[in-house]
Structure 1
Amino acid sequence: MTRVSDTEQEPLEVLIVDDQELVRGGLRRILRRRDGFHISECSDGDEALAAVAAQTPDVVLMDLRMKRVGGIEATRMLRARGAEPPVLVLTTFDDDQLLSGALRAGAAGFLLKDSPAEDLIRAVRTVAAGGSWLDPAVTGRVLTTYRTTAPAVSPSVTAGELTGREHEVLALIGRGRANSEIAHALGISEVTVKSHVGHIFGKLGLRDRAAAIVYAFDHGVVSPGQSKV
């Protein structure tokens, strides 16, 4: 993974978007500078675009329910501006509709706020490195909701018609692996992984990694028990 926390590399830049000061304070205490994180923050979704432009974070931690602009709309606005930075949704609500809506808006994953601190740290690092993170406590239900509410996709080929290597890459995407982890697992370069990912998305008509995860679960490429998280 890139920019992990050690003494020789820069800290991960994390932008917290949450309208509760107590929550932001708690996240700051977990994602500490000495552990490889640098924190910036804003207090509502309507401030997210300006904060991203000013801070250029590696990952955005986005609350779902805020007073002025919620996390789904803020995520949608960020994605409309480009692919970076990835958004990891944090919420106290295990609301399947909200969480599936966050995936449709382009979030790289979601985590419940009552998750252990270790899971938060792992999730931030995974998403910052280009992977996805789906909280196992609600993943099955959220994927079901996502499948029933997302627009139908008409792929030009099926998963069975991908090349062998593309199928391996799709399986690892389905398990939440980042490009660097896929490269290591398959013994290939990250550039080659990116090329395979582009071909997979193009062939299957997929917009992003979250959609690829849903596709992988839907078509038996991976099963919930195989998920990284």
Structure 2
Amino acid sequence: MLTSTDLIRVVLVDDHLMLVDSLVTRFQRDSDIEVVGTATNADDGLALILETEPDVVILDVELPGRGSFDIGEEISSRLKNTKMIFLTGYLSDIFIELALRVNAVGYLLKGEPIESLIHAIKKAARGEYCFSQSVQERLIFDHKKNRYSIQSESMLASLTSRQIEVLRHLARGKSVKEVARSMHLSEKSIDSHKYRIMHKLGIHDRVELARYSIREGLTLP
């Protein structure tokens, strides 16, 4: 539990180096925040987070390696006191849903001022939620469960976070072998995920899969 005199220990995981450098420079000028490490991919980020056990983690939605939501699940299960904020350019219902599934307390869009992120970090460290206004408008708060949920669910909500990551890779035209290498899984596992994804979504070929992903905001056209 942080006291009023404790620094908020932050880890930043994003593969956009200029953004990372800019954020670190600004955070270093804030007397309440200490950046304990940065990483540019999901695997290195997870290792760093588990080693340093920061108060707040800032994750990009789209990271090389296992995927942000995949490591988010592990962070949530292993580090109960670490709060997660997703920082992204994607305003997508399914990404917001996945962030909430892994118990993230924040989802912010990259177009916002850095001061908004600093304010969000301080709120997250206190255990409070922090969302961009356009994200907040898509959410409803369940007072009984004391948590937020997305107002409208798409068919993607039936997929696991790992299946979403597999879908995004496949929709970009990657082969099963390439996806397996990126996610550190076997080709058999990726094939199994692909079958389940297409069955759940009622999709029968890769072209339709790519179009669906673009339509749902999972990948850019």
What TM-score do the two structures reach when normalised by structure 2?
0.60
DSSP-derived class of the 1:138 partner: helix
1:120 matches 2:117: yes
Give unpaired runs (5+ residues) of structure 2.
152-221
Give me the identity figure in percent: 25
Equivalent residues of 1:45, 1:66 under 8 A apart: yes
Aligned pairs, number? 151
Which position in structure 2 is the counterpart of 1:24? Answer: 20
CA drift at 1:58 = 0.9
Q: CA deviation at 1:50?
A: 1.9
Q: In the TM superposition, what is the alpha-carbon distance from 1:41 to its structure 2 partner?
A: 0.9
Q: Is 1:103 equivalent to 2:100 in the alignment?
A: yes
Contact 2:107-2:135 at 8 Å conserved across structures? no
Distance between the aligned counterparts of 2:102 and 2:55, measured in 1?
18
- Partner in structure 1 of residue 74 of structure 2: 77
Task: Show the counterpart of 1:50.
Answer: 47
Structure 1 match to 2:32: 36
Q: Distance in 2 between matches of 1:53 and 1:82?
A: 8
1:174-222 CA deviation, whole Å, 9 max, x = no partner?
Answer: xxxxxxxxxxxxxxxxxxxxxxxxxxxxxx4x3xx5xx2349x9xxxxx
Deviation at 1:130, TM superposition (A): 1.0
SS at match of 2:46: helix
Aligned-residue CA RMSD (Å): 2.7
Q: Per-residue deviation at 1:15? A: 0.3
Indicate conservation of the 8 Å contact 1:71/1:102, yes or no. Answer: no
1:60 to 44, 57, 60: 57
Residue 213 of structure 1 aligns with an amino acid whose one-letter code is Y
Unaligned runs of 5+ in 1: 148-158, 160-169, 171-203, 218-229
Q: How many Å apart are 1:125 and its aligned residue?
A: 0.4
Structure with the higher fraction of residues in strand conformation: 2
| Helix, strand or coil at the partner of 1:137 | helix
The within-5 A match list for 1:82-93 is 82-93=79-90
Q: Distance in 1 between matches of 2:6 and 2:102?
A: 29
**Cα deviation digits, residues 42-90 of structure 1 (max 9, x gap):** 1111223321232221100011001212221121111121422010110
User: Would the alpha carbon gap of residues 111 and 34 (structure 1) be closer, same or farther in structure 2, given more than 3 Å must change?
Assistant: closer
**Is the CA contact 2:100–2:148 (under 8 Å) kept in the aligned structure 1?**
no
